[in-house]
Amino acid sequence: MDELVVELFKINAIKFGDFVTKVGLNTPVYFDLRVIVSYPNLMERLSEIIIEKVDFSDVKLVCGVPYTALPIATIVSCKSKVPMVMRRKEAKSYGTKKLIEGVFTDGDSCLIIEDVVTSGSSILETTKDLRSSGLICKKAIVLLNREQGGEDFLKENGIKMQSLLSMTDLIQILFEKNLITTKTKERVTHYISSNRVKSEALTLSLKEDRLSLSFTKRATYAKNNMAKKLFNVMAKKETNLCVAADLTEATDILNLAEQVGPYICCLKTHIDILQDFHPNFIKRLKEIAETHEFILMEDRKFADIGNTVQLQYSQGLYQISSWASLITVHSLFGRSILDSIIESNDDIGVFLIAEVSSSNNLIDEKYTTETIKLGLSYESSIAGVVCQNPLFRDFPGFLQLTPGVQLDSTKDNLGQQYNSPEKVIENGADIAVVGRGITKSADIAGSAEQYRRVLWDACKRRISEC
Ligand SMILES: O=c1ccn([C@@H]2O[C@H](COP(=O)(O)O)[C@@H](O)[C@H]2O)c(=O)[nH]1
């Protein structure tokens, strides 16, 4: 193992510094095995060690946790001649809708292969899908156990986990080989012993798929006050409709708010498109919101350095921080943008933008994943995420806000793409944003009522089918 640890250190698979784990913990040490695909000898050696260590007598299949462990699982399968299955991260939306690819029969036992275990949540996610497809999962092998509670958590969920290395072994080896200093060793050792992930919290969040829960129940999971309020308004008014008030005159927005008020949980503005903004407009809008019990969101899509965002948020003509309970923020600038907003107002609900609805946008999977991670590390300020797909299913306290919704159209002529209300609910939306589908209608109130009903019915079906 010593040799292997040194190799991993040399290829930069083990890093020391300041990082954030998938479950939102800050950590001074990070294990990034994605790089090993570039080192075939090392992958082969790791796979051989796994084969030496595992008792395959009761194993019919192997499955790597996507994505990092997939190449290792493939080599283990080829060398041990034990067939492999693959778990899709999201079920296909077309064709077979299969979660697990490969040939298997009910009751086959499957060994799970993973690179690193912190909380055990990734292994459990994969296990959930394997088990729901009829497979038996009782064993997992991991390359590194970070010793932060994952092993116990998996045991509670019926999975015996073996590891090639513990974090203690790893640090000791690197120290003995003079690859890290005493200070780093002490920092990591102290971090590991004082940062165990609470298994009760994980059990709760992992057992509860947000798509299958009522909004009342989800309010109890929300750490952000505005998200809690929004969930309760949604449940009380039986609506998950947010209207985008993209109109340029104050009276038009106020008229719209009066008409759609009974049918919405949230009214979304772009305050800088108003031609006749006046503080009295905000006063009146707040009164209407109070009468009809909906929440005001300013879709400002903040994206700048902390200082500028703080000024944009709380100063200038619009003084957004004084009236908007919810705002949208790009994750592009990282933690500082959130810090600056929270410093100005800690009773805000932020929606982080992880995906957008316009065609040919530049957001990739990594950006989306990192945005979710950022959100998870600011749980008390984040109300949810703006996205198009069912992300963060294991975090029922977050809301998915999905724009790009229309009954009669699939796109506009400037790159906007629309899905039907049913489709966005199927794609995980908790709140659907409808703009021109309602604002351009001849019967605004009737149209809002229609969108409310279709969305709410689809949501009720999703909850009962999940
Ligand atoms: O990805 C995104 C993010 C935000 N929006 C906003 O939603 C509304 C949609 O209006 P429609 O008239 O229904 O097209 C609008 O305010 C956008 O700024 C989005 O469309 N896509």
For residue range 290-299, what is the model confidence (pLDDT) as tens digits? 999 999 999 9
Same domain assignment for residues 64 and 147: yes
Q: Are residues 393 and 447 in the same domain?
A: yes
Check whether residue 352 and residue 219 sit in a common domain.
Answer: yes
Tokens 């077979």, residue?
A: 96
Pair 33, 123 in one domain: yes
Per-residue pLDDT for 438 more than 70? yes
Domain holding 70, by residue range, is: 2-206
What's the whole-model pTM score?
Answer: 0.63
pLDDT of amino acid 40: 95
First to last CA, the chain: 44
- Measured CA to CA, the distance from residue 130 to residue 63 in angstroms comes to 9
pLDDT at 95 (0 to 100)? 45
User: Which phi and psi angles does 299 have, rounded to 5°?
Assistant: -85, 60
Instruction: Determine the pLDDT at residue 121.
Output: 85
Same domain for 315 and 376:
yes
Confidence label for 202 from pLDDT (cuts 50, 70 and 90): low
Among 189, 206, 223, the domain boundary falls at: 206
The share of the chain scoring above pLDDT 70, in percent, equals: 94
Taking the centre of ligand 1 as the mean of its atom positions, its distance from the CA of residue 465, in whole angstroms, is 29
pLDDT at 201 over 70: no
Q: What is the pLDDT of residue 195?
A: 74
The domain that holds 49 is classified in CATH as 3.40.50.2020
Using the atom order of ligand 1, give the atom closest to the CA of residue 406.
13
Q: In this model, does residue 23 exceed pLDDT 60?
A: no
With a 6 Å cutoff on the Cβ, whether 385 touches ligand 1 is no
Q: Locate 1 and state its tokens.
A: 């193992």
Pocket test for ligand 1, best of 243, 246, 419 (most atoms within 8 A of CB): 246
Residue 402 CA to ligand 1 center (angstroms) comes to 9
- Name the average pLDDT for the chain: 92
In this structure, are 356 and 406 located in the same domain?
yes
More confident residue, 86 or 22: 86
3-state SS track over the chain:
CHHHHHHHHHCCCEEEEEEECCCCCEEEEEECHHHHHHCHHHHHHHHHHHHHHCCHHHCCEEEECCCCCHHHHHHHHHHHCCCECEECCCCCCCCCCCCEECCCCCCCEEEEEEEEECCCHHHHHHHHHHHHCCCEEEEEEEEEECCCCHHHHHHHCCCEEEEEEEHHHHHHHHHHCCCCCHHHHHHHHHHHHHCCCCHHHHHHHHHCCHHHCCHHHHHHHCCCHHHHHHHHHHHHHCCCEEEECCCCCHHHHHHHHHHHHHHCCEEEECHHHCCCCCHHHHHHHHHHHHHHCCEEEEEEEECCCHHHHHHHHHCCCCCHHHCCCEEEEECCCCHHHHHHHHHHCCCCEEEEECCCCECCCCCCHHHHHHHHHHHHCCCCCEEEEECCCCCCCCCCCCEEEECCECCCCCECCCCEECECHHHHHHCCCCEEEECHHHHCCCCHHHHHHHHHHHHHHHHHHHHHHC
- Indicate whether 353 pLDDT > 50: yes
200 & 320 share domain = no
- Mean of the pLDDT values across residues 319-344? 97
Identify the sign of the CA torsion 323, 328, 330, 334.
positive
pLDDT at 163: 96
pLDDT of 203 reads 52
Bridge partners of 268?
244, 297
**CA–CA separation, 248 and 76 (whole Å):** 61
**What's the pLDDT tens digit per position in 207-264?**
578 998 999 999 999 999 999 999 999 999 999 999 999 999 999 999 999 999 999 9
Which of 149, 175, 206 terminates a domain? The answer is 206
**What is the mean predicted confidence (pLDDT) over 119-147?**
90
Q: Output the CA 210–ligand 1 centroid distance in Å.
A: 24
Instruction: Supply the residue whose CA is at minimum distance from atom 1 of ligand 1.
Output: 356
Residues with a known catalytic role: 299, 301, 304
What mean pLDDT comes out for the span 146-169? Answer: 91
Residue 312 vs residue 203, higher pLDDT:
312
435 labelled binding-site residue: yes
CATH, residue 238 = 3.20.20.70
Q: How many domains is the chain partitioned into structurally? A: 2
Q: Residue 442 corresponds to which tokens in the numbers above? A: 């001849």
**Confidence label for 204 from pLDDT (cuts 50, 70 and 90):** very low
Given a cut of 50, whether residue 93 has pLDDT beyond it is: no
Cα–Cα–Cα angle for 303, 308, 309, nearest 5°?
A: 50
Cβ partners under 8 Å of residue 200, min gap 6? none
What are the φ/ψ torsions at residue 320 (nearest 5 degrees)?
-55, -40
Q: Closest Cα to atom 10, ligand 1: which residue?
A: 435
Q: In this structure, are 332 and 199 located in the same domain? A: no
Domain edge (last residue) among 183, 206, 229:
206
The response to whether residue 437 sits with its C-beta less than 6 Å from ligand 1 reads yes
pLDDT band at 327 (very low <50, low <70, confident <90, very high): very high
Does ligand 1 lie within 6 Å of residue 376's CB atom? no
pLDDT value of residue 374: 93
Residue 140: burial class (beta carbons within 10 Å; 0-12, 13-18, 19+): buried
**Is residue 268 part of an annotated ligand binding site?**
yes
Q: Are residues 12 and 110 in the same domain?
A: yes
Give tens-digit pLDDT for 102-130.
999 989 999 999 999 988 888 988 998 89
Pocket of ligand 1 contains residue 417 by CB under 6 Å: no
Question: Do 185 and 256 belong together in one domain?
Answer: no
284: Cβ–Cβ under 8 A, 6 or more apart, which residues?
254
77 shares a domain with 178: yes
pLDDT of res. 191: 86
**Is the same domain home to 112 and 256?**
no
pLDDT (tens digit per residue) in 371-418? 999 999 899 999 999 999 998 888 899 999 999 999 999 999 999 999
432, 416 Cβ separation under 8 angstroms:
no
CA of 361, closest atom in ligand 1: 1
